Chains A and B, each alone.
Chain A
Amino acid sequence: MPQDITIKITDRDGVLHEVQAPTDMNMNVMELIRAYELAPEGTVGICGGMAMCASCQCYVLNDVISLERNPDEEAMLWEAYHVKDNSRLGCQIPITEAIDGLEIEIAPEQ
């Protein structure tokens, strides 16, 4: 069985959570936030993961993943609020072994 990885997520109240994430369930970071209920339902992952709402915007705090955005993500973040250089959409970050140790902060609500 594949090993779970560890991701550090700071929620919108500034509380740090260190959570375990499975790498074999085709999950992404937005879904991980929902699975652990780190933001109230209805305030994250509203579009279901289509990069169409920016409710799962996160700030990437270390260099475990690239800050390069895919075209859908880039287009959405152009129109979103509270966007910084290190903004990514959680729904566009798949959970794989390669992102073990990722540290992110959930951006404020849109």
Chain B
Amino acid sequence: MPRKKMIETDILIIGAGPTGLFAVFEAGLLKLKCHIIDALPQIGGQLAELYPKKPIYDIPGYPEVLAGDLVSNLMEQIKQFQPGFTLGETAQTIEKLEDGTFIVTTNEGTKHHAKAIAIAGGLGTFEPRKPILKDLEFYEKEDRGVDYFVKDPEKYRGKNVVISGGGDSALDWSIFLSDVAASVTLVHRRNEFRGALDSVEKVQELKSSGKIKLITPAEVVGFKGSERLESVDIEVNGARMNVVTDYFIPLFGLTPKLGPIANWGLEIEKNAIKVNNALDYQTNIDGIYAIGDVNIYPGKLKLILCGFHEATLMCQSVYNRINPGKKYVLKYTTVSGVDGFDGTRKEAEKAVVKSID
């Protein structure tokens, strides 16, 4: 297998939630490049995974904004700073080099070399809640048929898929894959689903047109297949049936765990990383910062708006760290505009100087 190329960046951000995304903007203003790692296959963190269709009322300047829209807006706001992403991988190990820079390696072996680390990990890594089933561990390895995330929908093209779960992700992936997979079977323990109304209605429609097979109230209770998954046993009202399938995707929600970061030698208190809030949100390890919900200090509030502030101060500190002694004054975007790394420039329109007769 060819070795993966090392990803080079100024600030490596761990966590693609709102705080991590906004950090890219503040870093960009200081000409610092960012790369973001997230364990989930999509950006947005909790906002995308837990409550994309729910409103937030305490983002300054937004009387109401849907969590999913806030994520899209942040992505739009930072795109000219061309952040890199390593999605669907968990930051596993960290190594501090003699020159004070860091190498962070993910669970899939992707290596990132950065001048500073900003942990914006929120509640931690979202780990899938797994069903309690015999032989689960065998089938979840090496593409043997059990997946907990849909990372690449193309993988399921022309395949038979059984999805289990009753929430938004089970509904939304069933809808999406019904266009891609050879067959989609949705299994849920109850007849009632809990999701956005339009998703529930869409599944109803696809069920009626035969594009989704719905089995409720039912549960996947076993697997068959010697090399890889060939079929699942489903219990419906006390009776068993067998459904031939290539993939089984249980979507029972995710539980956050601080994960491997807990072993990085950082000072941890109350499941959060202690930082210096009097200065720059740096941790006990020089060059590693923690911002947003993942950090703790006296008076800490886990609010998105506090994360934005912490991200901003972190970037200033990293600038000073990377450019010791180099003069810098705070710029206002209204005055200076925004110069993207992609060559774009945003600026205020010039006022017209003209006499009025």
Contact = CB atoms under 8 A, between A and B. Distances in A.
Interface magnitude class on chain A: 10 to 19
Contact of A52 (B123, B166, B253, B270): B253
Interface stretch (A25-33, A37-45, A59-67, A98-106): A37-45
B123 to A, nearest CB: 6
Contacts of B176: none
A42 B54 contact: no
Given A42-B124, A53-B255, A75 B271 contact: no
B50 A42 contact: no
A35 interface: no
A78 B256 contact: no
B300 to A, nearest CB: 10
Given A50-B51, A52-B253, A40 B271 contact: yes
B166 A75 contact: yes
A79 interface: yes
27 contacts: A40-B271, A41-B270, A41-B272, A42-B123, A42-B124, A42-B258, A46-B256, A47-B50, A47-B51, A50-B50, A50-B51, A52-B50, A52-B51, A53-B255, A71-B192, A72-B194, A75-B166, A75-B192, A76-B194, A78-B166, A78-B190, A79-B166, A79-B167, A79-B252, A79-B253, A110-B129, A110-B255
Given A71-B192, A75-B194, A79-B189, 14 more contacts: A41-B272, A42-B256, A42-B270, A42-B271, A50-B50, A52-B50, A52-B51, A53-B255, A71-B194, A75-B166, A75-B167, A78-B189, A79-B252, A110-B255
Interface in B180-200: 189-190, 192, 194
A50 B271 contact: no
Contacts of A79: 165-167, 189, 252-253
Contact of B190 (A42, A72, A75): A75
Contact of B255 (A46, A71, A75): A46
A42 B271 CA distance: 6
